Structure 1
């Protein structure tokens, strides 16, 4: 079996341990992970063979610009993702009692408000409607009209106050965000070192595998989620449960969107690739050596503040149309039939889980139909032509 064990040539700004797809070292056999038994891990996503397509959730984020405008020069330290790390945990400088009170506040303000956060109809209309129907019955049972209408008035006051609190929250939450919340550098995917930092220790990024897991809801509904799981659980056991070390990434939409987030995460960690061209990373592109060289060579094909200007000058309707167009692009991309680069580094990797849905784009849309799985093509060592195929965010997306 061919193995990729080419040493990584240190580049200024990156550690020797930085991840590069064409320099994955030889690794040990992948053990049978007993803790994964009983879970419906429908497919393992392939390493390498990037398409350069980002998931719509990150390509057209709905919240980043407001935070970027408010936080300003400090945005680097107060965002979950920059050129150093992609964090999965928030450190908050607050006590347990404050957390509890904030939780109650958010449940009340968001659940009973007449409007939803960000716009739309909220739960207040539902509660008011139910009480309005009950009021009709109270009219016949109550002694006076005042008694009959009192419950409705109380509900209106409760929901109206919740609406005011929600408006207050939307106006001032960023001040809280900047004063008390910071993304942890101790629990993150670190681009410059190639390591995944966790409470159980630091592990190389190439020791993790990505899966699509099918979950069943309490009422029989089926949905899919994206998981990144440590391949060698005996090296990172949980002291209490022995559960494997794993991460989840929030992505909405089709199975193709889950493939896209794995494509983006790999390119983020791969220092031979520029940073994914997503809005949250744009302010930091010039700080990353590979990305800076890529942009200065004119390969990005966009000006330095493309995303900032787009969000500043586009209406919500225009952004929504862009999101829908991009969603269709992700769903139509050729995600299937790609080899898995990790086969060249882990001796028994192909034998552990080599198949994938025959039609990635259609898989999961009809959960009552059994999807057909096929074997992936065998991987071959990367060559120079791969550079032309892998990642290129130069195509406007």
Structure 2
């Protein structure tokens, strides 16, 4: 580690290449059936990223939007404040998170249900019937757009959980403004199952402290276990100072502030505007290939073992697709 990195990262920063010799986790058999059931089952994955197909976490459209306006912050991040400093896990019980979640659900009902209703009224009552339904949807749509505009900036949270890359610590809200900090490497990932009112099931990512009953729940649910695992990997990648920041548009504006990421980018000649200059078509193609790469990944194996077994990362799949298209175009023009 260079002098710059030593000065930037705290001695407590997490480094998967130099793991601490931690004692075994406490025996949870005495915690009772219901507590253990709520925590779920441990995920037997290391605190080190291997698959790294983070594009599979979002839709192609959202990645393209982020690439043109990198980051989730209303202003360009500074050295001391930006996505490279901390990852935030909000609570759905906080008003800023709840209103965003509610507005997202509301938007789905408006646009999906509204479109279906307009089509139905068009079929039953013709153009006049469709116009009546459009007028009915106008006020809810304006309300949705207004809330979306008012909540466009980064929310100011109080009871959130914060993961700090520079220190390797996890800051957990306790009560009345008090917080507790625990080293990231003392948490283990668990998966629990959640059944909704309609009978649909989803997966919840929980981080459980090895030596206490402290547990952190991720605010979003997952339909597939692969997506949950890639979320855990991205968190590990973010906290691990032996690795650069995760390769997504979110971090593009601030990679130069992180010494490890800056050194990695210089060594590999990574353009500072790699995602910003990428076309929508290419981002879409990479995202779909990332979906397939995550689905095919042999979880529990290292990246080297996966590659040796024939697994292909999204970049390789994309390059092979481009090469195949060029070959076909050359055959057609010959």
Shift of 1:260: 1.9
Q: Which runs of 5+ in 1 are unaligned?
A: 1-8, 117-121, 137-148, 235-243, 339-384
Deviations 1:347-395 (A, max 9, x none): xxxxxxxxxxxxxxxxxxxxxxxxxxxxxxxxxxxxxx99xx9xxx996
1:260 paired to 2:260? no
Q: Distance in 1 between matches of 2:189 and 2:107?
A: 34
1:128–1:152: 8 Å Cα contact kept in structure 2? yes
Shift of 1:267: 1.7
Q: Distance in 1 between matches of 2:108 and 2:253?
A: 35
Q: Residue 230 of structure 1 aligns with which residue? A: 209
* Larger Rg computed on CA atoms: 1
Which is worse superposed, 25-34 or 124-133?
Answer: 124-133
1:191–1:271: 8 Å Cα contact kept in structure 2? yes
Q: Distance in 2 between matches of 1:320 and 1:327?
A: 11
1:64 paired to 2:66? yes
Shift of 1:327: 0.5
Q: Residue 123 of structure 1 aligns with which residue? A: 113
1:21 paired to 2:16? yes
Residue 182 and residue 156 in structure 1: after superposition, are their counterparts in 2 closer, same or farther (change >3 A)? Answer: same
Count residues in correspondence: 290
Residue 31 and residue 57 in structure 1: after superposition, are their counterparts in 2 closer, same or farther (change >3 A)? Answer: same
Trace 1:1-397 onto structure 2 (pairs within 5 A).
11-33=6-28, 34=31, 36-39=35-38, 41-48=40-47, 50-55=49-54, 56-57=56-57, 61-62=62-63, 63-65=65-67, 67-68=69-70, 74-76=75-77, 82-89=83-90, 106=103, 110=107, 113=110, 116=111, 122-127=112-117, 155-167=133-145, 173=149, 176-178=151-153, 181-182=155-156, 187-200=161-174, 201-234=180-213, 244-248=214-218, 250=220, 254-298=224-268, 302-310=270-278, 313-315=279-281, 318-337=282-301
Residue 314 and residue 156 in structure 1: after superposition, are their counterparts in 2 closer, same or farther (change >3 A)? Answer: closer
2:202–2:224: 8 Å Cα contact kept in structure 1? no
Deviations 1:179-235 (A, max 9, x none): x7346797311000000011130100011111222333344433333222222225x
Deviations 1:87-140 (A, max 9, x none): 1238xxx9x7x999x689948962663xx3xxxxx222445567789989xxxx
Residue 58 and residue 19 in structure 1: after superposition, are their counterparts in 2 closer, same or farther (change >3 A)? Answer: farther
Q: Secondary structure at the match of 2:83?
A: coil
CA RMSD of aligned residues (A): 4.4
Q: Secondary structure at the match of 1:196?
A: strand
2:71–2:252: 8 Å Cα contact kept in structure 1? no
After TM superposition, the score normalised by the length of structure 2 is 0.68
Deviations 1:307-353 (A, max 9, x none): 1111xx325xx543332111001111221356xxxxxxxxxxxxxxx
More helix by share: 2
